[in-house]
Amino acid sequence: MVNMKNLYLYHIIYESMTACLKQFICLLILLSPHIAIANEVLPPKKVNWPFEGAFGTVDRKAAQRGFQVYKEVCAACHGLYNLYYRNLKDLGFSDAEIKEIAKSYTIQDGPNDLGEMFERAALPSDHFSRPYPNEQAARAANNGAYPPDLSLIIKARSNGANYLYSLLTGYTNPPDHFKLMTGLHYNPYFPGSQLAMPAPLTDGQVSYIDGTEASVEQMAMDVTNFLQWAAEPEMENRKSLGLKVILFLVVFTIFFVISKNRIWQNVK
């Protein structure tokens, strides 16, 4: 015999679950435009970079300008923890220039004979100076957001160079129906379309030493070239070695084929 009390209980549970499901579906329908917009990420702009391809090289003039952009704009919040000042010699900076660049920063060193830490001018052998002493200080200075280290940012992001260039040049006003959270900034190239970092670049923000016009697009391209080099300072040597290995294998493959044919030519 069917237990009427259990049937009634099952009916109550079924009705409650159905009502909750209907409310959830209605909520999704109401929020769907905002969800779609928030999750919509534009594909990165396509730029022809000089470092792309098997024969790609570092555009040292652009990378030097990019270092200037990093130094004057980005270094206030973002570190380059994997680089030493002496590495700048690979970009064409002289030893005297590197010493001048390094000594404009202070580094915490020690302990001294009294067991105390002290500050001194940076040397070419030092890592790039950190903008904040620790993560907590970085978050406190940036409304809770943690500015990432830029040493490997190009390799850490999919399609890194194009992504970074698109992000730096992609700040714009949000659509009318987009709900921008307080303290965030709209950028359709960033996942979720909103991020804590305001637009870092404005036209004429940097006075290039070589006289190049400092438009947002130019500065974004230059700093991307610099950060590509920072992520792969060995790139040119790696590509050069790879091409030599391929050439070696091609020559010796031809040599071995010719030798095999001559050795076995009388064998039927």
* Pair of tokens at residue 214: 């400092």
* Pair of tokens at residue 185: 């900034």
185 marked ligand binding residue:
no
26 marked ligand binding residue:
no
192 forms beta bridges with none
77 marked ligand binding residue:
yes
What is the three-state SS of 127-145? ECCCCCCCHHHHHHHCCCC
Going by C-alpha positions, the residue among 119, 90, 95 that lies closest to residue 107 is 119
Reduced to 3 states, what is the DSSP secondary structure of residue 106? Answer: strand
**Residue 193: what are its φ and ψ, rounded to 5°?**
70, 5
Give the separation between CA 107 and CA 115, rounded to whole angstroms: 17
Going by C-alpha positions, the residue among 183, 185, 159 that lies closest to residue 174 is 185
Which whole-number Å values give the CA distances from 41 to 173, 188, 267, in the listed order?
15, 6, 65
74 marked ligand binding residue:
yes
Binding residue numbers? 74, 77-78, 197
Binding residue numbers for heme c? 74, 77-78, 197
